[in-house]
Structure 1
Amino acid sequence: MRSYVRILYRRILCEGSAFFDDRTRTFIFNRTRKTFREYKDCTDEARIKKKLREARKFLHRIERANQGQTKSCLKLLQAAYGQRGKTRHRLLEPYTILPADYEHPKPLIPHIPRTAPPPRLCGPLNRLIVSVLHKKVDPMLPSPEYKPLHPTRKANLLWRWRTNLLDRILLPLPFEIVCELERRAGASESHPRYAGNLRIGGPLWNDLYSGQEAHPDLMHLCPSATLIPKTKVTRTHQALPTSSCAAEPSPYSTLSMIQLVNPNFKPMEEVKEGREKKLREARRLYRRILDKVPLLSPLPTASNMWDPKVTFKNSISCWVPGSIVRVQGDKKEEKGDVS
Structure 2
Amino acid sequence: MTDYYVRTLYRRILCEGSAFFDDRTRTFIFNRTRTTFREYKDCTDEKRNKTKLREAKKFLYRIERANQGHTKSCLKLLQAAYGQRGKTRHRLLQPYTIAPADHEDPKPLIPHVPRTAPPPKLCGPLTSLVVSVLKKKVEPQLPSPEYKPLHPTREANLLWRWRTNLLDRVLPPLPFEIVCELERRAGASESHPRYVGNLQIGGPLWNDLYSGKENHYDIAHLYPSATLVPKTKVVRTHQSLPTSPFSAEPSPYATLSMIQFVNPDFEPLDEKEEERDIKGEKQLRKARRLYRRLLGKVPLLSPLPTASNMWDPKIKFKTFSSCWIPESVTRIEEKPENDK
Post-superposition offset of 1:273 = 6.7
User: Structure 1 counterpart of 2:265, which letter?
Assistant: K
Q: Relative to 1, partners in 2 of residues 1:96 and 1:104: Cα closer, same or farther, differing over 3 Å?
A: same
Q: Deviations over 1:212-231 (max 9, x none)?
A: 10100000000000000000
Matched, 1:159 2:160: yes
User: Structure 2 counterpart of 1:22, which letter?
Assistant: D
Corresponding residue number in structure 1 for 2:222: 221
Q: How many pairs does the alignment contain?
A: 325
Post-superposition offset of 1:250 = 1.8
| Partner secondary structure for residue 314 of structure 1 | strand
Post-superposition offset of 1:323 = 1.0
Residue segments in structure 2 that go unaligned for 5+ positions in a row: 333-340
- The whole-number CA distance in structure 1 between the counterparts of 2:163 and 2:155 is 12
Q: TM-score, normalised by structure 2?
A: 0.93
Equivalent pair of 2:259/2:266 in contact (CA under 8 Å): no
Corresponding residue number in structure 1 for 2:286: 281
Matched, 1:105 2:110: no
Corresponding residue number in structure 1 for 2:65: 64
Counterpart pick for 2:310 among 301, 305, 325: 305
| Partner secondary structure for residue 180 of structure 1 | helix
Q: Relative to 1, partners in 2 of residues 1:198 and 1:148: Cα closer, same or farther, differing over 3 Å?
A: same
Aligned-residue identity in percent: 78
User: Structure 1 counterpart of 2:26, which letter?
Assistant: R
Q: More deviation in 173-182 or 268-277?
A: 268-277
Residue segments in structure 1 that go unaligned for 5+ positions in a row: 329-339
Post-superposition offset of 1:266 = 3.3
User: Structure 2 counterpart of 1:312, which letter?
Assistant: F
| Partner secondary structure for residue 137 of structure 1 | coil
Q: Relative to 1, partners in 2 of residues 1:69 and 1:102: Cα closer, same or farther, differing over 3 Å?
A: same
Post-superposition offset of 1:274 = 5.2
Post-superposition offset of 1:268 = 4.9
| Partner secondary structure for residue 322 of structure 1 | coil
Q: Deviations over 1:233-272 (max 9, x none)?
A: 0011110011111111122211322455x4x553157696
User: Structure 2 counterpart of 1:224, which letter?
Assistant: S
Q: TM-score, normalised by structure 1?
A: 0.93
Alpha-carbon RMSD: 1.6
User: Structure 1 counterpart of 2:312, which letter?
Assistant: D
Which aligned segments of 4 or more residues in structure 1 are displaced greater than 4 angstroms? 268-274
User: Structure 1 counterpart of 2:127, which letter?
Assistant: N
Equivalent pair of 1:238/1:269 in contact (CA under 8 Å): no
Corresponding residue number in structure 2 for 1:321: 326
Corresponding residue number in structure 2 for 1:333: none
Alignment of 1:1-339 (within 5 A): 1-259=2-260, 262=262, 265-268=264-267, 275-276=278-279, 278-324=283-329
- The whole-number CA distance in structure 2 between the counterparts of 1:148 and 1:327 is 57
Equivalent pair of 2:200/2:302 in contact (CA under 8 Å): yes
Q: Deviations over 1:249-306 (max 9, x none)?
A: 122211322455x4x5531576967544711100000000000001000000000101
Corresponding residue number in structure 1 for 2:337: none
